[in-house]
Amino acid sequence: MNQMYVASKFGILASVLLVLTLFTIFSLPENIGDLQSLRSLNANNNFLTSVPSTLCNLHPSCAVDIADNYICNESDCSHVNSDTGGPNVNWGVQDTSQLTCPSSPEIIGYNGALTINENENLTLSISNFEITDLDADLIDNTTFTLHIEDGDNYTVADNTITPALDYIGEIEILVYVTENGEADSLGSPMPSNSYDFTVSVVAE
């Protein structure tokens, strides 16, 4: 009985090494991330077209090799598991020659405010960014969702940035967008690149 059958049929078993190369596997079990003792997962040379987002719950020291499958839009776990960043995933080369892969959005510019007054908030929206995506008919709030990362000297609530009380200086802001209705290789909304810009907070 192979280990993948055991994992999918009876639940994940604790293991340090799991080798599934050339097992003719079409999917990984949804609860693969429960195997916290796993330190190496080799599932290359199979028939995977995606992997479950729970893969990102594996230990950050786990090495995952899923090269030579049929997976579009390789991603990483940084947006899924922001606490640890997830395991180290080697996507390698994927055979997508016979697949229609969705395009990833890309943020290429920012057209919003570059200066705000002390103790003033800054609210951002999709319209504040120049975004390209070959699959998107519209570039607006219905097509994309904006995500603002936490940073120094400000807090974030929804899409509103609030600088620290009485703070004067520059704040470095990092954002990305996800495309509604399109999924990446982890089954999560298709993420863009991360885009950073600087806003100056000045005295009133």
Reading the chain (204 residues) residue by residue, the pLDDT tens digits are 344 443 444 344 445 888 888 788 998 998 998 888 999 999 999 999 888 888 989 999 999 999 999 988 777 787 776 677 789 899 999 898 888 887 889 999 999 999 999 999 999 999 999 999 877 666 777 789 999 999 999 999 999 999 999 999 999 999 999 988 777 777 778 888 899 999 999 998
Position 113, amino acid: A
Of 54, 102, 98, 47, nearest to 74 (Cα)? 102
Instruction: Pick left, alpha or beta for residue 11 (phi over 0 → left; psi -120 to 50 → alpha; otherwise beta).
Output: left
Tell me the whole-structure pTM to 2 decimals.
Answer: 0.69
Cα separations (Å) of 65 from 92, 104, 105, 129? 8, 23, 26, 35
